[in-house]
Chains A and B, each alone.
Chain A
Amino acid sequence: MALLDTARPPAVPGRPPTSELVLRAFAFWITQYRRTWRGTAISTVLEPVGFLAAMGVGLGALVNQHHGTSSVAGAGYLEFIAPGLLAASAMQAASFESTYPVMGAIKWNKQYHAMLATPLRVVDALAGHLLFVLMRLTITCLVFLGVMLAFGAVESPWAFAALPVAVLTGMAYATPIFAFAATRENDSGFAMLFRFGIVPMFLFSGTFFPVSQLPGWMQPIAWAVPLWHGVDLCRDLVFGTATWGPALVHVGYLALWVAVSFVVALRMFSKRLVS
């Protein structure tokens, strides 16, 4: 069989729409995920079960015993931390998906370079990968919500609106970390990111206790952290106490993080991949 089609019409200017090119890049990550999803499936389920059982039920019993069941924001401790953990686990999953895989696609397996030799552009490679992270976060958060339901930690049907909010919270981390990862020569910076960025935010952004209990000078810092906005809104939604004003501020703040970080990430990707 001839490997070439000599009767092909001459090449013409133009390209498919951006959405089409982004989906082509997205399709690659799906293909790869099909090979590896089994490895992540168990931890996706076990993590929320472990957290809710240990912190919510175990530690929660102690907290409730000392303060009465309606001490923290008017609910039991399990109900209090479950929506916070939902947002926090989105953040954690997002940071893993945005560090090593991005560095791998630049340096180790070089999948981005393979994409850029085809009609795909830097923006397509970036957006396609972020779209995949969005899909992964959706699965992670959906499983988490399911586990919350099983633990009886859902108070209101509005809880389902917490799913996109948690995913958005994750994306507010994924996008800047994509930009950060594209500037790294090796993965040693990632350990620092987790140690001095992700873990403190996990602990002090209102997941385990209200930020009003932080020292006064620390509270504005907590308000600037995207996770706090995700935690606060997820909790209001799961309790069914959300109001439009604060909800829009939270969503707007998180969306702004994603938008600004996307522009920065695109610049970093271009610098790294097509100099």
Chain B
Amino acid sequence: MVSQMPAQPSTGDPLITARGLVKRFGDFTAVDGIDVDVHRGEAFGFLGPNGAGKSSTMRMVGAVSPVTEGTLRILGMDPAVEGPAIRARLGVCPQEDTLDVELTVRENLLVYGRYFGLAKDVIAERTQALLEFVQLAERAESKVEPLSGGMKRRLTIARSLINQPDILLLDEPTTGLDPQARHVVWDRLFRLKQQGVTLVLTTHYMDEAEQLCDRLVVMDAGKIAAEGSPLELIREWSTREVVELRFPVDETEDAGAKIEALAASEASLAQLVARVEILPDRVLLYAESGDDASAEIHRLGVTALSVLVRRSTLEDVFLRLTGRTLVD
């Protein structure tokens, strides 16, 4: 899988450097002193639940929202001074579409390309290539309004590439899309990554982060909780496998307490299970071998409605780091 790929070697100065970056809105601190470096050719992710400060970070990196405290350099420049020069070299795919729904697909790209001062013939040429890339070439003359959510998102991606950006910023690129549309978007983003485009994305989907990111930070309450490649994070903060046990409604809590007690008293179980996590609807056993752990728990007299052994994911990392699940 993609997440197994080693992070690309970093070359030269980072494209984005943040030190002690803070964003406050009145009394509320949205971003609370984060340090980040993003290198050329890297796919970098901010993973965290809604309200973690991801979008505020992205708006600062996009040279739109002013930095409250700390230093931020994008392409070696200070966004407070060189906003237009920085934005000229960024591609931005915002969380909420900012397409003009009354204009056609082609006109949207034309208008946007003009903001960058591109000549009409250059825009026309790139529009053709970009619409083919996002599989919207047949819809070039249709208005944006009737397009599906997935198509609009792909159009936004095409639009964000019109200036051949050094960095592509994607804020929640597949939020609100159905599973099929998500996979199409992922496929296109993965192709961009292979072409060497530097991607910076925020997401609260762990599968999205695992598929697309070479390296990511886990954000919670405005702070960075951990940093690394998806594989590194899973190795460091979780076990290889997880056993998911489900019990009849209302019995989950008691069953979980019983398992915790067993893990503390029975050496045979403690050897196999590194950690027990009790969620409202299931109990998780973190183990190197899920089969061994589930066999042992069964031998000790715990019978679950269903038993599922799976690989650890970033969801487990997040749970370990924050005590909460990513998507409620």
How many chain B residues sit at the interface, stated as a range, is 35 or more
Q: Is the CB of B166 within 8 A of A27?
A: no
| B74, chain A: closest CB distance, angstroms | 9
User: Which residues does chain A contribute within 8 Å of B20, judged by CB atoms?
Assistant: none
Please report whether the interface of chain B is mostly helix, strand, loop or mixed according to DSSP: loop
Known: A118-B112, A121-B83, A274-B66. A113 touches B196 (CB 8 A): no
Known: A20-B117, A118-B87. A3 touches B161 (CB 8 A): yes
In-complex Cβ contact of A36 among B64, B88, B99, B102 (8 A): B102
Q: Is the CB of A111 within 8 A of B100?
A: yes
Please report whether the interface of chain A is mostly helix, strand, loop or mixed according to DSSP: loop
* C-alpha spacing A244/B88, complex, angstroms: 48
Name the residue in B88, B101, B196 with the highest tally of chain A Cβ atoms < 10 Å from its Cβ.
B88
User: Which residues does chain B contribute within 8 Å of A274, judged by CB atoms?
Assistant: 64-66
Known: A28-B114, A118-B116. A2 touches B195 (CB 8 A): yes
User: Which residues does chain B contribute within 8 Å of A12, judged by CB atoms?
Assistant: 85
In-complex Cβ contact of B87 among A4, A28, A110, A119 (8 A): A119
Within 8 A of B (CB), among A18-49: 20-21, 24-25, 27-28, 31-32, 35-36
User: Which residues does chain B contribute within 8 Å of A1, judged by CB atoms?
Assistant: 129
How many A residues have CB within 8 A of the partner chain? 38
Known: A32-B102, A115-B115, A275-B65. A15 touches B84 (CB 8 A): yes
Q: Is the CB of A113 within 8 A of B77?
A: no
* C-alpha spacing A118/B62, complex, angstroms: 9
Within 8 A of A (CB), among B66-122: 66, 75-77, 81-90, 92, 94, 96-103, 107, 110-112, 114-117
List the A residue with the shortest CB-CB distance to B83. A121
List the B residue with the shortest CB-CB distance to A27. B114
With contacts A13-B81, A121-B84 known, what are 5 further pairs, Cβ within 8 A?
A5-B164, A28-B111, A111-B98, A117-B62, A118-B112
8 smallest CB-CB distances across A and B, nearest first, come from A15-B84, A118-B115, A114-B98, A119-B84, A117-B92, A110-B98, A11-B75, A1-B129
Spell out B's residues near A (CB within 8 Å). 25, 62, 64-66, 75-77, 81-90, 92, 94, 96-103, 107, 110-112, 114-117, 129-130, 133, 161, 163-164, 166, 192, 195-197
